[in-house]
Amino acid sequence: PTEQLALKERIRALLIRNQAVLVAHYYVDAQLQELADETGGCVADSLEMARFGRDHPARTLVVAGVRFMGETAKILSPDKRVLMPDLDATCSLDLGCPADEFSAFCDAHPERTVVVYANTSAAVKARADWMVTSSIGLEIIAQLHAQGEKILWAPDRHLGQYIQQKTGADMLLWQGSCVVHDEFKGVELELLRAEHPHAKVLVHPESPAAVVAQADVVGSTTQLIAAAQTLDATEFIVATDLGILYKMRAAAPTKHFIAAPTAGNSATCKSCAYCPWMAMNGLANLADVLERGHNEIQIDAEIAARARVPIDRMLDFAA
Ligand code: 13P
Ligand code: SF4
């Protein structure tokens, strides 16, 4: 703890010295979320992280999250320096959607409007008409569907299926998934609900359909935290990365949160429902990156300019 306190003090001083602001996701270590809050940064979902980074006057953004979040920040603020504690912090959705294969998929379906999830590389975004996050994908695709457009969707198949079901849109789905949310299990969730009949179920839409079908609320991380705070219940079953519990408990201190079951849930499993890439962000590598200024996000200018178009469309829609 003394070591942690000293590291935190060092980071505070380095943020000031670098005129930097910390932009963190709810899944990163609670210590980093606390620091972001205390130093005028933000802790948010993907949409809010993008907006916060774009609008903040700091010269340096330090993104504590995964690679696509740092890339989105850089695309929206090409003149800012964007650093990340670990540039290898990727995402299974991004890894499962290589730009060349995705491009070939788009070429094979030129009549479709290309909508990609935020959890993709800059090169994949550069090929898209729209980028969406979990907080706004449903509304955007509902509008495109109302305009008569057919959709090519990538990469998360569960989120795609959920949106398809809700909107009735014609969607061709890339078959990617999130290694964390894919592990939540429908039958085990039913059993857990039977043990907690009054609990409300909060589900991130990257989860399988059998889990989403049992949700009281389906939404982005910010939307799930808001639901925990506003819903009239004392118990909640939570199907998303458990890093979110730090903010859920802060937002609703008298309420009780239970982790949704995964294949690996047992007394011996301490790391179920934790994203391995989010976990690559820590106090030590955050301090280090601020000290040395390495791990800067670099994106080819032409790709970045093209990738900005679908992101701006989403932000304009959300405004
Ligand atoms: P949110 O945009 O809902 O925070 O989701 C990001 C993510 O990676 C979920 O796994
Ligand atoms: Fe990607 Fe899943 Fe990790 Fe989110 S939780 S960053 S979707 S692997």
Residue 206 Cβ < 6 Å to ligand 2: yes
- Ligand 1: residue of 23, 27, 51, 280 to mutate (most ligand atoms within 8 A of CB) is 27
Q: Model ipTM?
A: 0.98
Residue 32 Cβ < 6 Å to ligand 2: no
Predicted model pTM:
0.96
pLDDT of 23-57, one tens digit each?
999 999 999 999 999 999 999 999 999 999 999 99
235-239 sheet: strands from edge to edge: 217-218, 200-203, 235-239, 256-259
pLDDT of 117-148, one tens digit each?
999 999 999 999 999 999 999 999 999 999 99
Pocket lined around ligand 1, Cβ cut-off 6 Å: 45-46, 119, 133-134, 178, 204, 206, 220-221
> 173 is written with which tokens?
């789905």
> 97 is written with which tokens?
């959607």
Confidence of residue 268 (pLDDT cuts 50, 70, 90): very low
178 CA distance to ligand 2 middle (Å): 5
307 CA distance to ligand 2 middle (Å): 20
- The DSSP code sequence of 63-77 is EES-HHHHHHHHHH-
Average pLDDT over residues 272-287: 95
Closest atom of ligand 1 to CA, residue 180: 10
Determine which residue's CA is closest to atom 5 belonging to ligand 2: 275
130-132 sheet: strands from edge to edge: 130-132, 113-117, 151-154, 171-173
157, 225, 309 from 176: Cα distances, Å:
6, 25, 23
Average pLDDT over residues 70-98: 98
